[in-house]
Amino acid sequence: MKEDVIILGKGGHAKTIIDMIEEQGIYNIVGVTDYEVSEAEFAGYPVLGTDDVLPGYFKKGVKNAVIGVGGFRNNDLRIKLFNRAKKVGFNLPVIVHHSAIVSKTSKIGEGTVIKRGAIVDTDVTIGKNNVLELGSTVGHESKVGDHVLISANSIVSAYDIIEDDVFLAVSSTIISGLKVCSGTLIGAGSVVVKDIEQPGTYFGLPAKLITK
C-alpha cells in the first residue's frame, strides 16, 4: 500500500516533483498546499488549503511531505516550509529521479530532491532540503550543507565544501577543493576559483563579489 504525501507549494518546481513521484509510484499524492488558495486544483490534484491545514492532515495520518518550492534568487521560502513541516512532525523523503546517478557511497539528507540527469559521485555528503537540478553534478568527496540549491548544469567539483543556504545559479562552477560559505549566491555561468568566505552575490569568470 502506498504511503500518502502532501506537496507543499505550487509552481513549476512542484510540477516536476509531482511528475517524479508519479513515475516512482511509491507515494499517493493527497494534494497540494500553498500560501494562498486561488484555485481548486493544481496539476491534477486538489489544493487542500494554505499551509495552516498541515497539522490537521498530519493528525489524519498523512505523515509525508515534499517541498514543492525551488528558488529564484534565494532559499528562504524552502527553508521556511521545511522548518514548518518538521515542526508539525512530517517525514520529508528523499526524491530521486530514475535517470539520476547517485553513488551508493553517498549520503543524502532528508527532503533532498535530485532531478533528471543529476550526478552525485562517490563519498559525497549532501544535507537536508537540497535541490539538485537537471544535469547538475556533485564531485567525489564533496560536502553540501542544508537548504542548498544547485541549479541546472551547475558543477560542484571534487573535495568542495558548500555550506548551508547557498544558491548556485544555472551553469555555475565551483573548482575542486574550495569552500563556499553560508548565505552565498553564485550567479549564472560564474566560475569560483578561490574560497568564498564572505556571504554575498558573486558573479563572473572568475567570480567576484558584486553585492553583500
pLDDT per position as a tens digit, 63-88: 999 999 988 788 999 999 999 999 99
Averaged confidence pLDDT in the chain? 96
Residue 155 phi/psi, 5-degree rounding, is: -125, 120
Terminal C-alpha separation, the chain: 50
**72 torsion bin: left (phi>0), alpha (psi -120 to 50), beta (else):** alpha
pLDDT over 90 (residue 36): no
pLDDT, tens digit (0-9, with 9 covering 90-100), for 40-65:
999 999 999 999 999 999 999 999 99
β-bridge mates for residue 180, sequence order: 162, 196
The C-alpha atoms of residue 54 and residue 145 are separated, in whole angstroms, by 26
β-bridge mates for residue 132, sequence order: 114, 150
Q: Please tell me the predicted confidence (pLDDT) of residue 176.
A: 98
pLDDT, tens digit (0-9, with 9 covering 90-100), for 15-30:
999 999 999 898 999 9
Please indicate, yes or no, whether the overall pTM of this predicted structure exceeds 0.85.
yes
Which positions are catalytic? 140
The C-alpha atoms of residue 68 and residue 163 are separated, in whole angstroms, by 22
